[in-house]
Structure 1
Amino acid sequence: MNRSITARRTLDSFDRAILRILQRDNKTPQRRIGETVNLSAAAVQRRIAAMVDAGIIARNVAIVDVQAAQMTITSIVEVKMINEHQQTAAAARALFQATPEVQQCYYVTGGISFVLVIVAPDMPAYEALTRRLFNENEAVASFRSLIALDRVKTGSEIVIP
C-alpha cells in the first residue's frame, strides 16, 4: 500500500539509523537493530510503527532476483506522448501502473514524457509487450528501448544522512 504522509514527523538520528538498517534488510530483528542503534527493542518497535503510521515507511516488499524469476530482459524505455495534456498523462500512468512488467515508471521533463524500467522473460515477450503498450497506443508518439547488458546496481535503498 502506498500511503501519503499523514502526519508530519521529523526524523531524528535514531530514526535515520533504523531506516538505514531496514533498507538493507527489513527482516533484521528489532533486538539487533536496538543493539546497533543503542535503543531497546521496544523503542525500535515503537519508532518503526510511528514511521509506518506517518507514511515514511511506505511498504515492506520482497525484492525478487530477475534471473531466478526468469525475467532475463531488462529495458529502460523512453516514451514520448502525443501531448502532455492531463488526460493523456493520466491514461498513460494508469496503463503503466497496471502492467506488471513495468517495474518503475517516471513522468519526466526534457522532451520525453515517461521513462520506464521493464522486465520480460525473453525478446518475443518483450516485443509483444512493446507492441501493446506503445505501437498500438494512439497516445504514444514514439518510444526508444535501451536493453540492459548488465544490472550493475539495482535496489530501492535511498541515502539517509
Structure 2
Amino acid sequence: MKNLDRFDISILEILQKDNLTPQRDIGDHIGLSAAAVQRRIKRMRESGIIKADVSVINIEELKNSVTLIVEVFIESDKIILIDKMKTIFKNTPEVQQCYYVTGEADFVLIIVVPSMKDYELLTRKLFYSNDNVKHFKTLVSMDNIKSNLEIPASILNQIE
C-alpha cells in the first residue's frame, strides 16, 4: 500500500478511538462520502494496516486480576531457540504483550492473571520448565496509569 494520505490518517485516528463510529460520521468529519470512507477502510484492512477490530476491556472493572511486567533472560541466543520462545509467548493467552528487546533482558512480557497463585502456575509452565530460560524478573503493577493502543498521527504518517 502506498503512503497514507491525510484522509487515511484521519480515518485511523477516529477508528482508534472508537471503531464503531459510523462511516457517514467519519466522512462528515473529514470531508469524504461514506462510500469513500468504506473503500479506504477496506483497503487498509486488506493491506494489513488495520490488523483487527477489537473491544478493549477495562481491566480495572474486573474483580480479580493482577498485571505483571516480566523480564526474561535466556541462556542461548540461537535463532531456533529464540523463535521457539516467541512462539510459546505468542500462544500463551495470559501474555498480553511480548517484546523481544535489546539490553540485559531478552524479552519483556506484560502478563495478566487472576491471582498470584495463577502466576506461580504460569511461571512453572513458561519459565521453570524451559531449559532456555536463565532467569526472570517480575514487577507487579500496583496501578495502571496509562494503557493505550492508539498509534500517534506522527507515526501513522510514516506507514509505507
Q: Quick one: higher RCO (CA 8 Å, sep 6+), 1 or 2?
A: 2
Amino acid at match of 2:33: S
Counterpart for residue 4 of structure 1: none
Determine if contact 1:71/1:119 at 8 Å carries over to the other structure.
no
Q: Number of residue pairs matched?
A: 154
Whole-angstrom distance in 2 between the partners of 1:97 and 1:69: 23
Amino acid at match of 1:19: L
Structure 1, residues 136-159: CA drift from partner, whole Å, max 9, x if none? 211100100011011111131110
Unaligned runs of 5+ in 2: 155-160
**Does structure 1 residue 146 correspond to structure 2 residue 155?**
no
Over the residues paired in the alignment, what is the CA RMSD in angstroms? 1.2
State the TM-score, normalizing by the size of structure 1.
0.91
Structure 1, residues 21-41: CA drift from partner, whole Å, max 9, x if none? 000110000011011111111
1:75 to 51, 59, 68: 68
1:36 to 26, 29, 38: 29
Superposed structure 1 runs of 4+ greater than 4 Å apart: none
Whole-angstrom distance in 2 between the partners of 1:140 and 1:86: 14
Aligned-residue offset at 1:66: 2.0
Whole-angstrom distance in 1 between the partners of 2:63 and 2:128: 25
Whole-angstrom distance in 1 between the partners of 2:45 and 2:27: 18
Unaligned runs of 5+ in 1: 1-7
2:48 to 55, 62, 71: 55
Greater fraction of residues in helix: 2
